[in-house]
């Protein structure tokens, strides 16, 4: 039986802040992606949720990379399971805020390009 809502747990906060997990009940539909759930949260519950994405569903921009159920995945291609999901930022990148990490290769930062 398809649930009406699923619980999505999201790590919130920035480096040096009190990091915490927050739970959101998201309306579920078959085939929705984890990114769909995060976009729903940002639109309907908390517009301050920081996420990064660009192509939305092509696995092309690679900007939506995060940890979903403990595995590094693209949020736009990962399907939301009926049991919900626990979503964290990448562990091996500098945390900026919530699910956004610094994924720009060091040689491509503006300071290095100008300098």
**What is the smallest separation between the CB atom of 52 and ligand FES, expressed in angstroms?**
8
**What is the smallest separation between the CB atom of 30 and ligand FES, expressed in angstroms?**
20
Q: Are 75 and 66 in contact (CB under 8 A)?
A: yes
User: Where on the chain is the footprint of ligand FES (CB under 6 A)?
Assistant: 53-56, 58-64, 74, 76
Alpha-carbon distance of 69 to 61, in angstroms, equals: 22
Q: Pick between residue 54 and residue 112 the one whose CB is nearest to ligand FES.
A: 54
- Among 30, 32, 46, 11, which Cα is nearest to 76's? 32
Q: Pick between residue 28 and residue 53 the one whose CB is nearest to ligand FES.
A: 53
Looking up tokens 């992606």 gives: 33
């Amino acid at each position: 039986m398809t649930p009406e809502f699923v619980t999505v747990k999201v790590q919130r906060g920035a480096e040096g802040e009190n990091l915490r997990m927050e739970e959101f009940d998201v309306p579920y539909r078959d085939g929705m992606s984890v990114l769909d759930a995060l976009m729903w949260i940002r639109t309907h519950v908390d517009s301050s949720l920081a996420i990064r994405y660009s192509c939305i569903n092509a696995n092309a921009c690679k900007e939506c990379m995060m940890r979903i159920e403990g595995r590094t995945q693209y949020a736009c291609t990962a399907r939301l399971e009926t049991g919900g999901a626990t979503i964290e930022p990448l562990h091996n990148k500098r945390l900026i805020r919530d699910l956004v990490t610094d994924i720009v290769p060091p040689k491509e930062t503006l300071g290095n390009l100008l300098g």
